[in-house]
Amino acid sequence: MVLLNSSSCNLDWKPTNFKFTSLQGEEGTLYDSKGPNGLLVMFICNHCPYVKSIENKISSETKRIQKIGVESIAFMSNDQDLYEEDSNQNLIDQISRADFKFPYIIDNSQEIGKSFKAQCTPEFYFFNKNLELKYRGRLDSNGKDAEMGNPELYYAIEEVISKGYCSTQQYPSVGCSIKWKN
């Protein structure tokens, strides 16, 4: 397991739209997934101890931002052949265990992960209501600790909604490397 930091990126970048079918059976597009105030995109998985340790924080924070008009979506871009823990059934079990209320999509082609330049799990991207990237980084200051630290992502989202920009320093997410296919 390789520990990585997420890389920096161009703020205001807009993702390409695409169709998906989630593990929960929902069909949609990335653009249709956003709420009135934006969209949180996450790259997560089931095998990574960094993700496992913050599953409950992910669940509670996505429910909290939904109350302020931000929807969430998650992608699992790992090569499933390398990690049985990232199988469809184990991800479905993760959804139930963590009480995830957002679409969770397997990125088998890994095109989504590559288009976002995703590096690790967990990794968080917040797009405003115009689907312009305004935040890329970690969930909070406690990282792998199950206790909530300074909720940097939430504060950034609030600031973007109220002011249109994020002045808060953005720290890279830390986690397991995405397992790319050869």
User: Any idea which fold 3-177 has?
Assistant: Glutaredoxin (3.40.30)
Place of tokens 């969930």: 139
The pLDDT assigned to 142 comes to 85
**Following CA atoms 126, 130, 131, 135 in sequence, which dihedral angle do they give, to the nearest 10 degrees?**
-30
For residue 49, how many C-alpha atoms fall within 13 Å in the half-sphere facing its CB? 6
113-129 burial code (b ≥16 CB/10 A, e <16): beebebbbbbbbbbbbb
The answer to whether the CB of 140 falls within 8 A of the CB of 57 is yes
Per-residue pLDDT of the chain (182 residues), as tens digits, is 554 445 555 789 999 999 999 999 999 999 999 999 999 999 999 999 999 999 999 999 999 999 999 999 999 999 999 999 999 999 999 999 999 999 999 999 999 999 999 999 999 999 999 999 999 999 998 877 667 788 999 999 999 999 999 998 899 999 999 999 97
The pLDDT assigned to 4 comes to 47
With a threshold of 0.85, does the pTM exceed it? Answer: yes
